[in-house]
Structure 1
Amino acid sequence: MAAAGFFFSLTALVILIQLATSLNSCLAATPVHHSGRSTRFIRTSCQTTLHPNLCFTTFAPYATRIRGSPRSLATTALSLALNTTRFATKSVASLSKRHGLKRREAAALRDCVQEVGDSVDELKDSITKLGLPSAGGSDFRRRMSDIQTWVSAALTNDDTCMDGLSGKSVNRILKTRVRRRVVKVAHLTSIALAFVNRYAAAATHK
């Protein structure tokens, strides 16, 4: 009886191992959510930007929605840059109202809020204009030129904000907190500009 019980247990163990092996093989063969042509498009597009790693980790979750469309990629990039810029504006505005700030620190933060706030408006205008029905010829080129100008201006505003914090008048810890937020905004805006430029070039040469 003991021998029969041992044989039964050994047989059951072998079956469980086989089932586990089969399950692991199935899971390995199942494509992940971001696999396929759409993700390859994101990866290839991100290689043309100044921040390819940040770009890929940011846009890979949207690969299925973007579906290899340069226009959709540009629109998504502008939207994410806008959302991040809005968050940064609110965050820096909150820091600028803290008690105990030196006069120069408060002034530098207020200037930064103004600069980044302008970026919000420019990105909003860009998204609105990019969302208009497609039109060819000079109308399209003029529209894309406006968008490129606005996004470039938003990127310049981010740089101006960070330049204003570069002096010794701003506390190092405070400066680091602000720069961390604005640098991310600048990087995403830079990526958005690259994708806008790519879409404009691709559409113009059709």
Structure 2
Amino acid sequence: METSFLGLALAATLILQFSTPINSSFSATTSLPSRNTYIEYIKTSCYNSTFYPKLCYHTLVIYASTIKTSPKLLAKTALNVSLINTNSASRLMIRVSKIPGLEPRVVAATLDCLEEVGDSVYELQRSMEEIGHAGGSDFSKAMSDVETWVSAALTDDDTCLDGFAEEVVNKKVTAIVKRHIQRIARLTSNALALVNRYASTQANLP
């Protein structure tokens, strides 16, 4: 279920090699180690801080050149990845609720889940706004608000899953919903862990 992506910087390096041999040698020795450093930073952060490190790494490594070694950008990007996937899950729930012939209790569970996921989208949007404003003397309060919003989004994901217990008999629909909601819950859990990491890192600065 986890998807990995890679950057496209190699083409530019090859062009430099043919056009300016001296400068291309310098570029190859400086840009590549930097990118490797960024990738290693993401990997270390994911594996040291999150409950789902493989998912964390594979969903964030594409953004290595943007994140670099910034804990704020790492947390903010993780939130954005969670938001994008939660929006996709919301659209999926709408389609599922309209499948012809579903049992009324399955439709009800799906609509309840749609509401929970909609709340999660709102809460992740708020957390993105808040982390963008975090800084200065209000940093601790802003990060506390971010943590609250992300925790609420994670709770909403879990509540959605609660609605698809054993009594919801349509196993195919249940499997689809669980697969997608579990993924966004894990992404949100990872984002919360990286938010906490960023908050603690900044709190320890003089």
The C-alpha deviation readout for 1:134-157, integer Å capped at 9, x for no partner, is: 223xx2111111110110010011
RMSD: 1.8
Match of residue 100 from structure 1: 101
In structure 2, the residue matched to 1:44 is 44
1:156 aligns with 155
Give unmatched runs, 5+ long, in structure 2: 1-27
How many residues matched? 176
Counterpart secondary structure, 2:202: helix
User: If the length of structure 2 is used for normalisation, what is the TM-score?
Assistant: 0.81
Whichever residue aligns with residue 96 of structure 1, its letter is S
Partner in structure 2 of residue 204 of structure 1? 203
Structure 2 residue aligned with 1:121: 122
In the aligned structure 2, how far is the partner of 1:32 from the partner of 1:131?
Answer: 29
Q: Is 2:82–2:187's contact at 8 Å kept on the other side of the alignment?
A: yes
- 1:63 is matched with 64
Q: Where in structure 1 are there 5+ consecutive unaligned residues?
A: 1-28
| Separation in 1, partners of 2:124, 2:176 | 23
CA distance in 1, matches of 2:92, 2:33: 33
Mapping of residues 128-143 of structure 1, within 5 Å: 128-132=129-133, 134-136=135-137, 139-143=138-142
Task: Give the secondary-structure state (helix, strand or coil) at the position aligned to 2:133.
Answer: coil
Q: Name the counterpart of 1:144.
A: 143
Question: Per the alignment, in what secondary structure is the counterpart of residue 131 of structure 1?
Answer: helix
Q: Aligned residues: percent identity?
A: 44
Task: State the Cα distance separating 1:183 from its structure 2 match.
Answer: 0.8
What residue in structure 2 maps to residue 26 of structure 1?
none
User: Which protein has the larger Cα radius of gyration, Structure 1 or Structure 2?
Assistant: 1
The runs of at least 4 consecutive aligned structure 1 residues that moved more than 2 Å come to: 29-35, 167-170
User: How far off is 1:35 after superposition?
Assistant: 4.6
Alignment partners' CA distance in 2, 1:34 and 1:84: 29
Say if 1:169 and 1:129 are closer, same or farther in 2 by CA, change over 3 A: same
Displacement of 1:97: 1.5
8 Å CA contact retained: 2:105, 2:168: yes
In the alignment, which residue of structure 2 is the partner of 1:8? none
* Superposed CA offset, 1:162-190 (max 9, x none): 11101222311110011111111001000
Which residue does 1:15 correspond to in 2? Answer: none
- The answer (yes or no) to whether the contact 2:113–2:160 under 8 Å persists in 1 is yes
Partners of 2:66 and 2:160 in 1: how far apart? Answer: 33
Contact 1:118 1:154 in 2 (8 A): yes
TM-score, structure 1 as length reference: 0.81
CA distance in 2, matches of 1:180, 1:161: 12
